[in-house]
Amino acid sequence: MNHLSIFVLTLFVCGSCHAVLAAPEVETKPQPKTNDIQKKRLIIRTDDIGFCHGANMAIKRILDKGVVTSVSVIVNTPWLDEAVEILKDHPEVSVGVHTNLNSEWREYRWGPVLPYDKVPSLVDKFGRFFGTRRDLMANHPRTSEVAAELRAQIELALKKGLRISYCDHHMGAAVNCLEFQEELEKLAREYNLVISRYFGEADTKSIYTVPPEQKTDAAIESIRNLSHEGLYLMVLHPGTDTPEMAAMTDLNSTGLKGMSRYRQAEADVLCDSRFKAALKDAQVELTGYADLLKEFGTKGMKRPSTAKRYDEVLKEALQQETLTK
């Protein structure tokens, strides 16, 4: 049987598409041959679940009526318990920790799982995470504190009863430099978790910035373009166009205006019968990260790209901070 290698089509990017700094990776490595795929397989990953009530209601609707295979949960927010209860009713879906070191919404700020005085280099004077990766790095975050906070987030997910099988990273902050990246990889192996994009997943074309009224058509087109065998990843950020989410303003300069409408539209995509039909017509096999953990284990992971070292990322952050003053 011939093997067809999957080539990484995208860089190691953040879980959300509106990060301020350039992607931290500089060196791309070949994908693991052990993970060659002989058919079209697709992971549909939804990010930011648990961060607010609207996000939770969106994933509840999707799990009941739509299609999704992997759900990434932010655990250091007030709405975690609601997300946990929703996911308990759906053991068929893979659950991951959306490791989080920043809080980007001006009107709704959160902080670490650990007491803020235990991770002082990660928080502002009010004990909240910084809104951007640049501001986090400009505060000279200690790698030891990053590792401790990421561990605490994984531990909290487990204590809450989530059956986690993978982890990824919100806006790339947890892998913003090589030293952070190495700590996340250590934790993943210690807790027997795989990391999203460590299996050579080829990203489908993002629909994050596509106008809400065009999202479904764009998502369908992405599925129709999956013309070759391999492992693919589609990342969406579902939400609800409600006053709660409509009130939030992104602290990142590249953040979407009217975010709630965009996120409502992404939830609609996953519940649309036309989108489901496109998956069937494309003969795509849906899979989740729990499946990859079972098939390949943590030994099957391979870093898709290597971030710049801490000192270099810090220098760039300080330079950008100076330019914006």
Q: Tell how far CA 117 is from the center of its chain.
A: 27
Q: pLDDT tens digit string along 58-77?
A: 999 999 999 999 999 999 99
HEC per residue, the chain: CCCCCCCCCCCCCCCCCCCCCCCCEEEECCCCHHHCCCCEEEEEEEEEECCCHHHHHHHHHHHHHCCCCEEEECCCCCCHHHHHHHHHCCCCCEEEEEECCCCCECCECCCCCCCHHHCHHHECCCCCECCCHHHHHHCCCCHHHHHHHHHHHHHHHHHCCCCEEEEEEHHHHHHCCHHHHHHHHHHHHHCCCEECCCCCCEECCCCCCCCHHHHHHHHHHHHHCCCCCEEEEEEECCCCCCHHHHCCCECCCCCCCCHHHHHHHHHHHHHCHHHHHHHHHCCCEECCHHHHHHHHCHHHCCCCEEECCHHHHHHHHHHHHHHHC
Nearest to 47 by CA among 146, 157, 171: 171
Structure tokens at 26: 């500089």
Query: What CA–CA distance (Å, rounded) separates 129 from 233?
Result: 28
pLDDT band at 227 (very low <50, low <70, confident <90, very high): confident
CATH assignment of 25-324, among 3.40.50.720, 3.20.20.370, 1.20.1260.10, 3.40.50.620: 3.20.20.370
Q: pLDDT tens digit string along 118-155?
A: 999 999 999 999 999 999 999 999 999 999 999 999 99
pLDDT above 90 covers a percentage of the chain that reads 85
Structure tokens at 219: 């998502």
Structure tokens at 303: 């870093």
Nearest to 284 by CA among 34, 43, 71, 47: 43
Q: pLDDT tens digit string along 180-219?
A: 999 999 999 999 999 999 999 999 999 999 999 999 999 9
Position 293, amino acid = L
Annotated domain spans of the chain: 25-324
Query: What CA–CA distance (Å, rounded) separates 144 from 48?
Result: 25
Query: What CA–CA distance (Å, rounded) separates 132 from 258?
Result: 19
Q: pLDDT tens digit string along 258-293?
A: 999 999 999 999 999 999 999 999 999 999 999 999
pLDDT above 70 covers a percentage of the chain that reads 88
Distances, alpha carbon 160 to alpha carbons 68, 75, 94, 313, 324, in Å: 22, 9, 16, 34, 41
